[in-house]
Amino acid sequence: MKKIIITLLFIASYLPAQATQIPQTIPLTKGWNAIFITISPTQPDPNLLFQNLPIDQVFTYHPQKSSVQFIQEPDEIDIKQAGWSRWVPSDQPDAFLNSIFQILAGQAYLIHSTQDYTWTFTGKPIYKKHIWQPNSFNLKGFYVNPDHPPTFADYFEDSTAHSQTVVYSLMNNHWQQLTDLETNLIDSGKAYWIYSKGGSTFNAPLNIDLPTALKFNIENRTEKISFDNLTQNSLEITIEHINNHLINVHFI
C-alpha cells in the first residue's frame, strides 16, 4: 500500500494564548523563494513581520476570471496585472503601491531575500481549503509532513484534474518544470505553479472537515472532525498529542 503522511495541527481554543502558538521555519535562499504559509502569523502586518529581515519584496497571486497559461519569472511580474499583489518596505519610494496588508495562512507567496536566511515566526495553525482555478496554473502549497513528504504523483493520483498535471518549481530564481512527478517530492512550506485541468476542490488525498473553531470547555469536551478518504486505497489515520496541547494528525 502506498504511504502518504500529511500533518495537521489542531489547538484547543480554551488554552492560554501563549500556548496556542507554534513556529514555522522557512529557509530562504538569496534571491527569489516560493513559499507556503501554514500558520496564521501572530503579527500578520508585513511591515512588522518582515521588520529587520533581509526581505525586500513579496508577491502573491489571487486567481481572477482569466486563467494563467504562461509562467512569468518573478523579476518580470507586472503589479498592474490582474491578480497580483505586492509588498515592499515602507522606506521604498514605491511603497505607496503596496497591496499586501496581511500575510495569511494557507497562502502562497514569492519572497525576495537579499541573503540566505532561516526565517522562523510563530502563529496559530490554520487548515485552509482552496478551490482550483480551472484550466489554469495555480500558485499552491500543501500541508504535508516535512519528515515524510509524498511525491506529486502519489498525492494527486486520485484527482482527475491533476492526475497528469504540469508542475513548476522555483529554482535559482527561475521556474523550472518538474519532469518526473513519480520521484519529485512535495516540500513542506514551498509553493509551486500547478496546472488544473478543469475545476477542482481537491486539497489532499484525505478530505478533512473541521468545525469553525475547536472549542473545548467543561460543558463541551468533544468536537466533530470528519475524514473522507478520496483515494482507492486504505488510509491509516494516527492522532497523537504533542506538548500536551497539540493534536498531530497523520494519515497514511
Q: pLDDT tens across 106-157, in order?
A: 999 999 999 999 999 999 888 888 899 999 999 999 988 888 888 999 899 8
Q: Percent of the chain having pLDDT more than 70? A: 76
Q: What pairs with residue 8 in β-bridges?
A: 249
Tell me if 4 is assigned to some domain.
no
Q: Which domain holds residue 141?
A: 23-196
Tell me if 226 is assigned to some domain.
no
Q: pLDDT averaged over the chain?
A: 83
Separate counts of helices (H) and strands (E) for the chain:
2, 16
Note the pLDDT of residue 224: 67
DSSP 40: E
Number of domains in the chain: 1
One-letter amino acid for residue 5 of the chain: I
Q: In the chain, which ranges are E strands?
A: 6-11, 22-28, 31-36, 39-41, 55-61, 84-87, 108-113, 117-125, 136-141, 167-171, 174-177, 191-196, 206-209, 226-229, 237-242, 246-251
At 238, the pLDDT band (50, 70, 90 cuts) reads: low
Tell me if 234 is assigned to some domain.
no
Tell me if 167 is assigned to some domain.
yes
At 212, the pLDDT band (50, 70, 90 cuts) reads: low
Could you report the per-residue pLDDT of 183-196, keeping only the tens digit for each? Answer: 999 999 999 999 99
Tell me if 16 is assigned to some domain.
no
Tell me if 76 is assigned to some domain.
yes
pTM of the model: 0.83
